[in-house]
Structure 1
Amino acid sequence: MIGVQQWTGREASALRAALRMSTRTFAEHLGVALRTVAKWEKLGPHTRPRPDTQAILDTALARADTAARVRFETLLSDLADRFAYADPVCAADYETWAEDIDRVLVCLGRQDFSFASILLNRWLDRDDPRALDDRGRYLYGRSLVLLGDLRRDQGVTLGPLSAQHSYKAAHGLFSELAIPRRVAQTELSLAVIDEMSGNLEISARHYERLATDDRLSARDRARARLWIGTALSKYGENEYAVKAMMEATRGFEDLAEPDDWSVAHQKVALAYRGSGDLTRALHNIDIARSTGIVETPMQRVRLDTAHGHILLSDPATRDDGRSVLDGAAQVARQYGLSHQLRSIEGIRRSFGDPSAALST
């Protein structure tokens, strides 16, 4: 009797088809959630059931009648033939894939998550990366990173369909391909996820290591230094945070990176707010608001959220702060920036705003 060494969504879907069951009936037959079977159907070879579910699938196959096992074996053979003898991805396909990656970058800048997702999944759902050559696997890894960026901007940081999951898969591919710069960049992205998830001490250690990592470009190392400061600021170490951020600010100035320089001043402003120095906080947020070159919905929301937070911290400007945060929340809702909405709600709650939950 045919056996399965490692079940993935592809083999599980083949078993369902061999048993001639609907997804709902198959879920009930196995005793698993319908959404689990739906995920197998959607992600195919890119998802693996948990060890206990692997055993359940083994049992279901063993208990299938002879006709179902023959159908299952035939389906698996067809799948193996398809991957073994499929035409290789041609150069024109790779060019189109690379062009779609460029289009995704534009979409993410505009926070057009829906179209970006369509462009990425047309390639990620098409092939098993193990069936691709090195160029195809590189493009697959780049697509996974962008999918991670998309989910991070939407606030989906943890779980099987999260930014963290996509970044880890990309990290594995780039490690196998021996591309140190891409490996380090995904490690930097994973450190950001740690920070967003509240693991501030862990993220700060990762940032500190990456800030001197020669695998990264000078710009990425400066970003790591900046993010050391953001983690320290959230941890309440505002004095050390400002020092780290100012070092990053000088780095962005030397590199002639005006947008990063502007973002750094925004972060410095929040660190000064945390230390109670509202005069310096307002000075730096004014620099950030007046010097950025590229304005996207995400950048606008982040700037307005920081500005509103600072204004709320002074009783004399509290009403202005609420107004600025209202505008930021409206833009965040419009573009599906759920992480930013949660940040705005948290700021409002910290100042005793009873309408926080309703307004965001």
Structure 2
Amino acid sequence: MATVHHWTGLEARALRLALRMSVRTFAAHLGVGVRTISKWEKLLSSTEPRQDTQAILDTALARADAAVHLRFETNLSEAGRPGSGAGRRRVTVAGPRAWEYETWTDDLDRTVVALSRQNFGFADDLLRRWLARFAPAELDDKGLYLYARSTALLGDLQRDRGAIVGPLSAQRSYAGARAVLSQLDIPRRVAQVDLSTAVVAEMSGQLEVAARRYETLAVDDRLSRRDRARARLWVGTALSKDGNHDYASRVMLAAIHEFEDLAEPDDWSVAHQKLALAHRGAGDLTSALRCMDIARTTGTTDSPIQRVRLDTAHGHILLSDPATLDDGLEVLENAAKVAAEYGLSHQQRSIEGIRSTQSMYGGATSPWRR
């Protein structure tokens, strides 16, 4: 809601127009003379009401509904435009207005959809229009929650784009979101950000660190059962990347059973994709191809990033057998094209790493990366 630190005739006129009152009606509403209102209207920012009248104006504004506040701020914005001759605005906005909370929430829902389709440019625009509009210091708890969600989603965007560490990275955004959520004392959201931070550690090559964080989160009651199962799956991915394929497979199988109990088909499919790579690492190509077939036939592939991950994993397995080497290279080539089209730089680097290692060792390809 808007507050005025110091009233002038400019703000008083903006309030009258917002209330949709005539000069006479407005005078009666405030309990002042018509001449006084006429003076404010004529001199605008060059005149200031008396202190007792300032308090009356404060009360009139405070009692107005949201629609009046919106019209009031719009009137002041228009009156304060360059060239209007209306003088300097003396109004501040104490955080988002009620309708802005709803719009902000809607934009976050739209951001989630945009990210699922790897429409990074649009998602970035949606997030930054709010992160740039309000500073945390001027937000109440509801505003801070939306700010933290926006910052966490910005981290997701940066992660999917491959900006893992650095000043403009997923790591930094997640740290900012975690600080705000900790301040608000929302343990579940804090733990979810911790899970995202562990993913970043894994993607940046800190496999032991990531595995330890996943192990802790897999039994963390702050998280939902699904998130704990995802943490268990990702323990397996970190272990597999670190060469511990047999134990990784056992951990992943436990996660698969959990996803089946939870009736989470997409997670169940992704888990088979990860398990396929663990089997490949252990040299069991028959089991790897069987799990890969399950992942490819049951998973949702509407998301470009998931198509790239599936094709990259499939191509990686095919490269491990000289008989399917050419097929593997073709699958990886298609995955690289989609990754380039959608700006999936981390996936592009993974594909190039697999190709380069295959070229050096003739099929003995490098450990898979997320």
Instruction: Determine the C-alpha separation between the residues in 2 that align with 1:85 and 1:154.
Output: 37
Q: What are the superposed Cα offsets for residues 31-52 of structure 1, whole Å, 9 maximum, x if unpaired?
A: xxxxxxxxxxxxxxxxxxxxxx
2:195 — aligned with what?
188
**Letter paired with 1:188:** L
Q: Pairwise mapping of residues 281-320 of structure 1 onto structure 2 (< 5 A)?
A: 281-293=288-300, 295-320=302-327
Please state how far the C-alpha of 1:89 moved relative to its aligned partner: 1.3
1:341 — aligned with what?
348
Of the three residues 166, 180, 196, the one matched with 1:173 is 180
**Letter paired with 1:236:** G
Q: Pairwise mapping of residues 233-252 of structure 1 onto structure 2 (< 5 A)?
A: 233-252=240-259
Identity %: 64
Q: Pairwise mapping of residues 270-285 of structure 1 onto structure 2 (< 5 A)?
A: 270-285=277-292
- Alignment of 1:121 onto 2:128: yes
- Alignment of 1:103 onto 2:80: no
Q: Pairwise mapping of residues 150-229 of structure 1 onto structure 2 (< 5 A)?
A: 150-229=157-236
Compared CA separation, residues 84 and 174, structure 1 to 2 (3 A): farther
1:134 — aligned with what?
141
Stretch deviating more after TM superposition (189-198 or 82-91): 82-91
Output the TM-score relative to the length of structure 1: 0.74
Provide the aligned C-alpha RMSD in A.
1.5
Instruction: Determine the C-alpha separation between the residues in 1 that align with 2:159 and 2:94.
Output: 35
- Alignment of 1:230 onto 2:237: yes
Residue 83 of structure 1 contacts residue 131 of structure 1 at CA under 8 Å; is this kept in 2? no
Output the TM-score relative to the length of structure 2: 0.72
Please state how far the C-alpha of 1:337 moved relative to its aligned partner: 0.2
1:68 — aligned with what?
none
Instruction: Determine the C-alpha separation between the residues in 1 that align with 2:354 and 2:90.
Output: 52
Residue 258 of structure 1 contacts residue 291 of structure 1 at CA under 8 Å; is this kept in 2? yes
Unaligned runs of 5+ in 2: 1-88, 362-370
Instruction: Determine the C-alpha separation between the residues in 2 that align with 1:88 and 1:308.
Output: 51
Residue 259 of structure 1 contacts residue 294 of structure 1 at CA under 8 Å; is this kept in 2? no
**Letter paired with 1:254:** D
Stretches (4+) displaced over 2 A: 82-88
Instruction: Determine the C-alpha separation between the residues in 2 that align with 1:87 and 1:352.
Output: 60
Residue 270 of structure 1 contacts residue 281 of structure 1 at CA under 8 Å; is this kept in 2? yes
Instruction: Determine the C-alpha separation between the residues in 1 that align with 2:94 and 2:217.
Output: 41
Compared CA separation, residues 96 and 353, structure 1 to 2 (3 A): farther
Counterpart of 2:359 in 1: which secondary structure? Answer: coil
Instruction: Determine the C-alpha separation between the residues in 2 that align with 1:134 and 1:111.
Output: 30
**Letter paired with 2:252:** M
Please state how far the C-alpha of 1:87 moved relative to its aligned partner: 3.7
Residue 94 of structure 1 contacts residue 136 of structure 1 at CA under 8 Å; is this kept in 2? yes
Q: What are the superposed Cα offsets for residues 175-232 of structure 1, whole Å, 9 maximum, x if unpaired?
A: 0000000000000000001000110001000000000000000010000000000000
Q: What are the superposed Cα offsets for residues 236-286 of structure 1, whole Å, 9 maximum, x if unpaired?
A: 000010011010011110000000000000000000000000000000000
Please state how far the C-alpha of 1:295 moved relative to its aligned partner: 2.4
Residue 95 of structure 2 contacts residue 134 of structure 2 at CA under 8 Å; is this kept in 1? no
Of the three residues 346, 351, 355, the one matched with 2:358 is 351
Counterpart of 1:106 in 2: which secondary structure? Answer: helix
Residue 148 of structure 1 contacts residue 166 of structure 1 at CA under 8 Å; is this kept in 2? yes
Counterpart of 1:352 in 2: which secondary structure? Answer: helix
Instruction: Determine the C-alpha separation between the residues in 2 that align with 1:99 and 1:335.
Output: 24
2:70 — aligned with what?
none
Counterpart of 1:351 in 2: which secondary structure? Answer: helix
2:76 — aligned with what?
none
Unaligned runs of 5+ in 1: 1-81, 355-360
Please state how far the C-alpha of 1:130 moved relative to its aligned partner: 1.5
**Letter paired with 1:115:** F
**Letter paired with 1:255:** L
Counterpart of 2:213 in 1: which secondary structure? Answer: helix
Residue 314 of structure 2 contacts residue 328 of structure 2 at CA under 8 Å; is this kept in 1? yes
Residue 94 of structure 2 contacts residue 139 of structure 2 at CA under 8 Å; is this kept in 1? no
Please state how far the C-alpha of 1:352 moved relative to its aligned partner: 1.0
How many aligned residue pairs are there? 273
Computing the radius of gyration over CA atoms, which structure comes out larger, 1 or 2? 2
Please state how far the C-alpha of 1:90 moved relative to its aligned partner: 1.1
